[in-house]
């Protein structure tokens, strides 16, 4: 059955039009190692698993599917904490004039550090996960934190942020309105904005956040080499403002500039701002208006992060926008896997890449897309489960009650 997602083969699949130069600048290996050095000092830090799904791979006719399971990250159920915490670390170093020094986690907690810093307040807008990660980092390091959410943010997500001691402000409007309100209030009050999205004149901190994410990819590469795999052949990554996707695409483009994996960027069809910006074809960011109604709360962003978009437009291969049922099916496949494959608890935004891969392998897709994808028994496919059960009521609705069902025409046939 003809697929119901929309796709763009970027630059008509002409890989000679890729340009990894910015990726190399933004994601040098030493930055990833610096982030890793910092993260490893956090109490209870462990590598998250790289879950292999051999039986699903066989069913879909591909060589391997590997899911980096960030639902298990530092008991935070999301990868986001890796960016927020590293950005706070870099900002503290900058405020102290110690940018060239390695500050220990212990020092960040010390009275000496707090006295030197004086009163600092950190602030950000969020769709839930980044705010929770930043609130957690601030609580650990004993700094006040103000988080702005939009009016559609679910109560469990708000409560989860408050649990880490942050003050939460609800802004009428969507995620992008919350971003603007947080920036305006921070300006008025002298707070430091630690935002995962960038805008003109505000790029340094979002860059640190993306660099913080690359610590996850260093782990993955270490885990791949333990399996005898040099690099994945395909990467499917989900995008909200595009910071995670740019970190993943940028990291691999910088590491393997001559032979990068094939990069597929997936978004919800109701909030496909990266897709629409690529579709516009003018190299600029474009906004998707409206209430961005999707179950993928973490991906419900209407404005790309410009610095992230720059990396994506120069290096990613395929852009996809998919309906909610694709992510919902991904959640069910991961949570109730084929016998022998590990269970991966995945929330709506976390499961989009797996749902997308499943659709790519089982729907009837155009020949031109098939030819660029080249999914076969040699394909080693990498993706990140970016969140676990972060909204327990929605999670039960989808997994137990069958909310967002697969349309009949795409269901398993006899
Ligand atoms: C669970 C989850 N996955 C993916 C993303 C996408 O990250 P980005 O906004 O950097 O594209 C987010 C963003 O909040 C998220 O919460």
Q: Is the CB of residue 196 below 6 angstroms from any atom belonging to ligand 1?
A: yes
143-150 contacts at long range (C-beta below 8 A, 24 or more positions apart): 143/88, 145/121, 146/121, 146/122, 146/182, 146/185, 146/186, 146/191, 147/123, 148/123, 148/124, 148/178, 148/179, 148/181, 148/182, 148/185, 149/125, 149/178, 150/125, 150/174, 150/175, 150/177, 150/178
Q: Is the CB of residue 245 below 6 angstroms from any atom belonging to ligand 1?
A: yes
Span from the CA of 80 to the centroid of ligand 1 (angstroms): 7
pLDDT at 13: 82
- pLDDT tens across 207-254, in order? 999 999 999 999 999 999 999 999 999 999 999 999 999 999 999 999
In CATH terms, are 6-78+205-410 and 81-195 the same topology?
yes
pLDDT at 118: 93
Within 10 A of 4 (CB to CB), how many other CB atoms are there? 15
Q: How far apart are the first and last CA of the chain?
A: 14
Residue 56: pLDDT over 60: yes
Contact 152, 271 (CB under 8 A): no
Q: Is the CB of residue 294 below 6 angstroms from any atom belonging to ligand 1?
A: no
Atom of ligand 1 nearest to the CA of 245: 11
Span from the CA of 140 to the centroid of ligand 1 (angstroms): 22
Pairing of strands 192-193, 122-126: parallel
Structural fold of domain 6-78+205-410: Rossmann fold (3.40.50)
Length of the chain: 414
pTM: 0.96
What is the spatial distance between Cα 167 and Cα 251, in angstroms, rounded to a whole number?
Answer: 34
Burial code (b: 16+ CB inside 10 Å, e: under 16) for 167-178 equals: ebeebeebbbbb
Looking at ligand 1, which residue's alpha carbon is closest to its atom 15? 298
What is the spatial distance between Cα 216 and Cα 101, in angstroms, rounded to a whole number?
Answer: 23
- pLDDT tens across 346-371, in order? 999 999 999 999 999 999 999 999 99
What is the spatial distance between Cα 39 and Cα 28, in angstroms, rounded to a whole number?
Answer: 17
- pLDDT tens across 29-55, in order? 999 999 999 999 999 999 999 999 999
Phi, psi of 8 (to 5 degrees): -130, 130
Span from the CA of 37 to the centroid of ligand 1 (angstroms): 23
Instruction: Collect all residues with Cβ–Cβ distance below 8 Å to 337 and sequence separation of at least 6.
Output: 53, 55, 56, 343, 344
Pick the CATH number of 81-195 from 3.40.50.1100, 3.40.50.720, 3.30.1490.20, 3.30.470.20: 3.40.50.1100
| Share of residues in the chain with pLDDT > 90 (%) | 91
- Quick one: tokens of 187? 């300006």
- pLDDT tens across 367-393, in order? 999 999 999 999 999 999 999 999 999
pLDDT at 1: 56
Residue spans of the domains in the chain: they are 6-78+205-410, 81-195
Q: Which residue has the tokens 């590469």?
A: 221
Among 68, 80, 140, 313, which one carries the catalytic annotation? 80
- pLDDT tens across 310-325, in order? 999 999 999 999 999 9
- Quick one: tokens of 369? 């897309």
What is the spatial distance between Cα 11 and Cα 316, in angstroms, rounded to a whole number?
Answer: 10
């Amino acid at each position: 059955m003809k697929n119901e997602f929309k796709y763009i083969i970027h630059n008509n699949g002409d890989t000679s039009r890729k340009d990894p130069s910015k990726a190399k600048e933004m994601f040098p290996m030493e930055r990833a190692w610096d982030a890793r050095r910092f993260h490893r000092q956090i109490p209870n830090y462990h590598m998250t698993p790289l879950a292999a799904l051999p039986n699903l791979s066989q069913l879909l006719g591909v060589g391997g599917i590997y899911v980096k399971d960030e639902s298990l990250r530092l008991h935070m159920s999301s990868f986001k904490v890796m960016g927020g915490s590293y950005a706070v670390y870099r900002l503290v170093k900058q405020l102290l004039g110690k940018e060239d020094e390695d500050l220990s986690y212990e020092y960040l907690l010390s009275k000496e550090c707090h006295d030197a810093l004086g009163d600092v307040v950190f602030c950000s807008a969020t769709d839930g996960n980044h705010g929770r990660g930043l609130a957690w980092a601030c609580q650990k390091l004993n700094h006040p934190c103000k988080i702005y959410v939009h009016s559609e943010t679910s109560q469990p997500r708000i409560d989860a942020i408050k649990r880490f001691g942050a003050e939460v402000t609800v802004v009428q409007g969507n995620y992008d309105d919350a971003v603007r309100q947080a920036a305006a209030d921070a300006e008025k009050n002298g707070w430091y904005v630690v935002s995962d999205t960038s805008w003109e004149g505000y790029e340094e901190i979002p860059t640190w956040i993306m660099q913080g994410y690359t610590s996850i990819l260093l782990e993955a590469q270490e885990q791949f080499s333990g399996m005898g795999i040099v690099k994945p052949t395909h990467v499917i990554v989900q995008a909200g403002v595009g910071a995670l996707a740019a970190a993943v695409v940028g990291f691999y483009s910088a590491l393997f500039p001559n032979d990068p994996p094939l990069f597929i960027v997936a978004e919800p069809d109701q909030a496909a701002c990266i897709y629409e910006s690529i579709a516009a074809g003018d190299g600029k960011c474009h906004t998707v208006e409206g209430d961005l109604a999707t179950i993928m709360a973490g991906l419900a962003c209407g404005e790309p992060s410009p610095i992230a978009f720059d990396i994506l437009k120069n290096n990613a291969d395929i852009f996809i926008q998919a309906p909610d049922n694709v992510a919902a099916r991904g959640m069910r496949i991961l949570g109730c896997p084929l016998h022998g494959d590990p269970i991966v608890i995945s929330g709506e935004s976390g499961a989009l890449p797996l749902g997308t891969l499943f659709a790519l392998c089982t729907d009837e897709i155009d020949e031109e897309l098939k030819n660029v994808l080249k999914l076969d028994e040699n394909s080693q496919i990498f993706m990140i489960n970016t969140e676990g059960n972060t909204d327990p009521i929605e999670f039960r609705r989808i997994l137990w009650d069958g909310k967002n069902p697969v349309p009949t025409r795409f269901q398993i046939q006899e």
